[in-house]
């Protein structure tokens, strides 16, 4: 217990010693994580939005002319078994013809020109309206469309697909930016720890000569890095919260649509958890590397 | 207890800080190491606690070959040896008490145990009244005694001191030597490097004399019992 206490003490002492540079690295970590958090949140919101938009999804798949009934039955069975599907209706070529003539009685004479029904057989699929399955439904539909027995499809989903594309793009940009910033933060912490090691060289030397273990000397520096990352991420969580609360007010004023599109109401807790883990992780890892490099002996 | 077998030390090529040194110091012995400045006294002491490595030769401390001690276990050797450095190596931002406590703190001793030991050794070196002072606010002689207190606080088997009276006047030097005699009387092997001939005469002990990295021909390098 005493060992742990003095270790923590040392870490705090050395954080409070180099206030400026500590503040700087603290700031850059907070900024990095804020950017990471904002992009994370944006892609989360867009996905939520896409999911909401893709409620009431209905898709009609038209079969090719030469498709045999067993193949159709197989697909029907597969669709009925899918957890995403609410209801499936098959209509044969003849049924399509009947439906047509019922809907447009004055055009009935056209049909008599054909020996067999000119309409393709089709299945109409109604998807479940559960929250959060929209994106899964989209890829499910894409999979079915690729089947060799399907000629074409008709879906009320264009919007959701576009939103998903935007989401993918934003995730990519966010990942790229975050990676650069994470690297910069790690580099700064690495150097900060290096500086602290050199600053405490005399003390470290004395500790070694009076019989301190390697870990006794190393751990405070690693903890220092982890603490920096941890507090940086707490700061980032606060900033993220404020940003996400303030921005909608501005957005309402500027673009009403945009505000509707991105639901700022609920910020997922997992996002904050992710920030905390990432921040602490960055701090821990970069200080560990620094210690390995500069506290060899 | 401490044995050197044909130990050589080169810091730079073709220049020997120590040349073919063999010696044996028994448990509980009091040994002076003497010789002019640059003769190799500090180097010899540093080899004992592995701050420097020999270029050639074997060194045994407490019957283990210290060449073979891995870096991870070096702390165990260091805990057996109390060192009084020539430049004291006190931390300026810690009080006398805190400086003396360091060897116990790094061992993870309990606060109460640390307190007991530190108070005890500060009394032993006559510095109880200075325990809350910072090193820069006490005299050189007092700093020297803080360094001694720190060297003995962890109950070492060996105490090593490098010119502990270098900056002190004769009266203070005698006082410091008396402290070492008391330490030695508790069974702790004591090795002191000094070039103060006056003090050597006042405290007749076994003396190893270095000259340009070699023992002078008259120096008995075996244990005292053998040479008496
Ligand atoms: N770190 C070092 N690098 C190079 N030469 C050194 C180093 N330490 C000591 N020496 C040299 O080794 C010799 C012995 O030095 P030292 O052991 O300090 O002698 P003493 O303590 O008797 O004055 C000297 O010639 C000194 O210049
Ligand atoms: Mg010397």
Last residue of a domain, one of A97, A124, A155: A155
User: A261-266 long-range contacts, Cβ below 8 Å, gap at least 24?
Assistant: A261/A46, A261/A49, A262/A42, A262/A45, A262/A46, A262/A49, A263/A45, A263/A48, A263/A49, A264/A45
- Say if ligand 1 is within 6 A of residue B82 CB: no
pLDDT above 80: residue A266: no
Q: Cβ neighbours of residue B202 under 8 Å, at least 6 residues apart?
A: B174, B177
Please report, rounded to a whole number, the percentage of residues in chain A having pLDDT higher than 90: 22
| CB-based contact A209 B106, cutoff 8 Å | no
**Quick one: A285 and A170 in the same domain?**
yes
Mutation to probe ligand 1, out of B15, B17, B49 (largest number of atoms < 8 A from CB): B17
| Residue B189 and residue B1 in contact, taking contact as beta carbons nearer than 8 Å | yes
For A293, the token pair is: 């490099």
**pLDDT of amino acid B206:** 93
Give the Cα separation of A244 and A15 in Å (integer).
30
d(CA A23, CA A257): 39
The answer to whether residue A259 scores a pLDDT higher than 60 is: no
> Across residues A255-271, what is the average pLDDT?
63
Residues A167, A267, single domain; the answer is yes
Neighbours of A246 (CB within 10 A): 11
Fold of the CATH domain B26-51+74-219: Rossmann fold (3.40.50)
Contact A173/A89 with Cβ under 8 angstroms? no
Task: Closest CB to B83: pick one of A202, A207, A209.
Answer: A209
Please judge whether A211 and B71 are an interchain contact, meaning their C-beta atoms are less than 8 angstroms apart: no
pLDDT > 80? residue A41: yes
Task: Clarify whether residues A71 and A189 are in a common domain.
Answer: no
Q: For chain A, how many structural domains are there in total? A: 2
Chain-chain contact of B49 with A209 (C-beta, under 8 angstroms): yes
Distance from CA of B82 to the nearest CA of A (A): 7
**Least Cα separation, residue B15 to chain A (angstroms):** 25
Note the pLDDT tens digit of each residue in A157-203: 667 777 778 888 888 998 898 899 899 989 989 998 998 899 889 99
Give this prediction's pTM.
Answer: 0.75
Chain A contact residues (CB < 8 Å to B) = 2-3, 6, 202-203, 205-214, 216, 297
Whether B91 sits inside 8 A of A207 (CB atoms) is: no
Q: Running DSSP on this structure, what letter comes out for residue B65?
A: E
DSSP H helices in chain B: 41-48, 74-80, 96-105, 111-124, 140-152, 170-185, 197-202, 224-227
Q: Which of B157, B152, B138 is nearest to B180 (CA)?
A: B152
How confident is the model over A34-44, as a mean pLDDT?
Answer: 87
A29 and A112 part of one domain? no
* CB-based contact, B154 to chain A, within 8 Å: yes
Confidence category of residue A3, pLDDT binned at 50, 70, 90: low
Residues of chain B positioned with their CB less than 8 A from the CB of A2: 105, 108-111
Ligand 1 within 6 A of CB of B43? yes
Alpha carbons B165 and B42: distance in angstroms, whole number: 14
Do A257 and A174 share a domain, yes or no? yes
Q: How far is A166 from chain B (nearest CA, A)?
A: 54
Closest residue of B to A4, CA-based? B108
Q: Is B152 in contact with B159 (CB distance < 8 Å)?
A: yes
Position A26 pLDDT exceeds 90: no
The token pair at A43 is 């892609």
Phi-psi label, residue B6: left if phi above 0, alpha if psi -120 to 50, beta otherwise: left
Same domain for A254 and A273?
yes
Measured CA distances, B108 to A10, B27, B101, B114 (Å): 14, 27, 11, 9
pLDDT score recorded for residue B226 = 44
Look up residue B29 and give its two tokens: 């012995």
CATH number at residue A139: 3.30.70.3040
Sign of the four-CA dihedral B165, B166, B171, B172: negative
Interface contact flag, A210 B72, Cβ < 8 Å: no
Sheet holding B64-65, edge to edge: B15-25, B2-12, B56-61, B64-65
- Helices (H), ranges, B64-137: 74-80, 96-105, 111-124
Q: Is A18 in contact with A161 (CB distance < 8 Å)?
A: no
d(CA B151, CA B142): 14
B37 ligand 1 Cβ < 6 A: yes
Within 13 A of A271's CA, how many CA atoms are on the CB side? 23
Of A195-199, A251-255, A290-294, B45-49, minimum mean pLDDT range: A251-255
User: Residues 10..69 of B with a Cβ closer than 8 Å to A: which?
Assistant: 49, 51
Q: Model confidence at A286, in pLDDT bands (50, 70, 90)?
A: very high
Same domain, A169 and A289: yes
SS3 state of residue B59: strand
Least confident stretch, A123-132, A147-156, B146-155, B217-226: B217-226
Residue nearest to atom 7 of ligand 1 (CA): B11
The residues placing their C-beta within 5 Å of ligand 2, an ion, are B 42
Cα torsion B125, B128, B129, B133: sign? positive
A172 plus A259 within the same structural domain: yes
Mutating which of B46, B52, B75, B79 best tests the A interface, going by the most A Cβ atoms within 10 A? B75
Average pLDDT over chain A, rounded to an integer = 82
Which pLDDT score, from 0 to 100, does residue B227 have? 42
A29, pLDDT greater than 50: yes
Give the separation between CA A91 and CA A88, rounded to whole angstroms. Answer: 10
Pick from A129, A155, A181: which residue ends a domain?
A155
CA–centroid distance, B193 to ligand 2, in Å, is 8
Strand order in the sheet with B214-215: B81-84, B158-162, B189-193, B30-34, B206-211, B214-215
* pLDDT (0 to 100) of residue B132: 96
Count chain A–chain B contacts defined by CB atoms under 8 A: 52
The residues near A253 (Cβ < 8 Å, ≥ 6 apart) are none
Tell me how far apart the alpha carbons of residues B164 and B29 are, in angstroms, rounded to a whole number: 18
Question: Is the distance from the beta carbon of residue B21 to the nearest atom of ligand 1 less than 6 Å?
Answer: no
**Residue A211 confidence class, pLDDT cut points 50, 70, 90:** very high
Please tell me if the CB atom of residue B189 comes closer than 6 angstroms to any atom of ligand 1: no
Residues of chain B contacting residue A297, judged by C-beta atoms under 8 Å apart: 71
Give the distance from CA B172 to its chain's centroid. 18
Q: What is the 3 state secondary structure string of chain A?
A: CHHHHHHHHHHHHHHHHCHHHHHHHHHHHHHHHHHHHHHHHHHHHHHHHHHHHCCCCEEEEEECCCCCHHHHHHHHHHHHHCCCEEEEEEECHHHHHHHHHHHCHHHHHHHCCCCCCCCCCEEEEEECCCCCCHHHHHHHHHHHHCCCCEEEEEECCHHHHHHHHHHHHHHHHHHHHHHHHHHHHHHHHHHHHHHHHHHCHHHHHHHHHCCCCHHHHHHHHHHHHHHHHHHHHHHHHHHHHHHHHHHHHHHHHHCHHHHHHCCCCCCCHHHHHHHHHHHHHHHHHHHHHHHHHHCCC
- Host domain of residue A198: 2-52+161-294
Pick the last residue of a domain from A99, A132, A155.
Answer: A155
User: What is the residue with the minimal CA distance to atom 4 of ligand 1?
Assistant: B11
Residues A206 and A287 in one domain: yes
- Angle separating helix axes A2-17 and A214-254, nearest 10 degrees: 60
Is A211–B91 a contact, with Cβ atoms under 8 angstroms apart?
A: no
The closest residue, in CA terms, to atom 26 on ligand 1 is: B38
Torsion of CA B151, B152, B153, B154, to 10 degrees: 90
pLDDT, tens digit (0-9, with 9 covering 90-100), for A51-97: 766 667 788 889 888 888 888 888 888 888 888 888 888 888 888 88
Distance (Å) from CA B128 to ligand 2 centroid: 30
Do A245 and A170 share a domain, yes or no? yes
pLDDT of A258 above 60: no
Structure tokens at B76: 């165990």
Residue B102 with chain A: CB contacts under 8 Å = 206-207, 210
Strand-pair partners of B4? B23, B59
Nearest chain A residue to B91 by CA: give it. A203
Reading chain B (228 residues) residue by residue, the pLDDT tens digits are 899 999 999 999 989 999 999 999 999 999 999 999 999 999 999 999 999 999 999 999 998 999 999 989 999 999 999 999 989 999 999 999 999 999 999 999 999 999 999 999 999 999 999 999 999 999 988 999 999 999 999 999 999 999 998 778 888 889 899 999 999 999 999 999 998 888 888 888 999 999 999 998 666 777 755 444
Q: What are the residue ranges spanned by the domains of chain B?
A: 26-51+74-219
Q: Which two tokens stand for residue A158?
A: 């264009």
pLDDT reading at A21 higher than 50 = yes
């Amino acid at each position: 217990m005493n060992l742990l206490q003095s270790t923590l003490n040392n870490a705090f002492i050395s954080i409070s010693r180099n206030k400026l540079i500590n503040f700087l690295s603290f700031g850059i970590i907070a900024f990095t994580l804020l950017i990471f958090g904002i992009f994370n949140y944006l892609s989360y919101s867009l996905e939520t939005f896409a999911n909401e938009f893709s409620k009431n999804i209905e898709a009609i798949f038209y079969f090719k002319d030469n498709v045999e009934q067993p193949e159709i039955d197989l697909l029907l069975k597969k669709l009925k078994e899918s957890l995403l599907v609410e209801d499936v209706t098959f209509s044969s070529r003849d049924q399509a013809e009947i439906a047509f003539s019922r809907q447009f009685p004055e055009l009935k004479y056209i049909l008599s020109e054909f020996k067999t029904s000119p309409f393709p057989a089709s299945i109409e699929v109604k998807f479940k309206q559960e929250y959060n399955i929209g994106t899964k439904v989209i890829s499910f539909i894409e999979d079915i469309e690729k089947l060799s027995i399907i000629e074409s499809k008709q879906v009320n989903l264009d919007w959701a697909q576009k939103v998903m594309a935007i989401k993918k793009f934003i995730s990519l940009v966010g990942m790229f930016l975050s990676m650069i910033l994470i690297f910069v933060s790690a580099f700064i912490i690495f150097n900060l720890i290096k500086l602290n090691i050199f600053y405490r060289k005399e003390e470290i030397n004395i500790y070694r000569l009076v019989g301190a273990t390697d870990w006794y000397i190393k751990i405070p520096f690693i903890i220092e890095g982890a603490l920096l990352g941890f507090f940086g991420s707490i700061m980032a969580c606060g900033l993220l919260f404020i940003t996400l609360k303030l921005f909608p007010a501005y957005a309402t004023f500027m673009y009403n649509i945009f505000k509707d599109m991105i639901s700022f109401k609920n910020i997922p807790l997992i996002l904050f958890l992710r920030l905390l883990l990432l921040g602490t992780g960055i701090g821990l890892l970069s200080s560990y590397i620094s210690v390995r490099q500069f506290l060899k002996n | 207890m401490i044995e050197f077998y044909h130990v050589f030390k080169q810091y730079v090529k073709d220049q020997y800080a120590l040349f073919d040194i063999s010696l044996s110091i028994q448990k509980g012995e009091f040994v002076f190491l003497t010789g002019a400045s640059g003769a190799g006294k500090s180097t010899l002491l540093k080899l004992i606690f592995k701050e420097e490595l020999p270029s050639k030769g074997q060194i045994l401390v407490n019957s283990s070959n210290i060449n073979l001690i891995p870096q991870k276990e070096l702390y165990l050797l260091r805990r057996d040896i109390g060192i009084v450095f020539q430049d004291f190596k006190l931390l300026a931002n810690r009080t006398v008490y805190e400086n003396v406590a360091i060897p116990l703190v790094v061992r993870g001793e309990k606060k109460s145990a640390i307190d007991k030991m530190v108070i005890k050794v500060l009394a032993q070196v006559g510095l109880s009244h200075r325990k809350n002072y910072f090193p820069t606010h006490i005299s050189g002689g007092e700093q020297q005694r803080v360094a001694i207190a720190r060297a003995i606080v962890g109950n070492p088997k060996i105490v090593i001191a490098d010119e502990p009276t270098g900056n002190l006047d004769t009266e203070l030097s005698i006082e410091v030597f008396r402290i070492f005699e008391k330490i030695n009387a508790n069974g702790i092997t004591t090795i002191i490097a000094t070039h103060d001939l006056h003090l050597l005469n006042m405290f007749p002990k076994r003396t190893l004399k270095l000259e340009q990295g070699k023992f002078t021909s008259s120096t008995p390098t075996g244990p005292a019992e053998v040479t008496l």
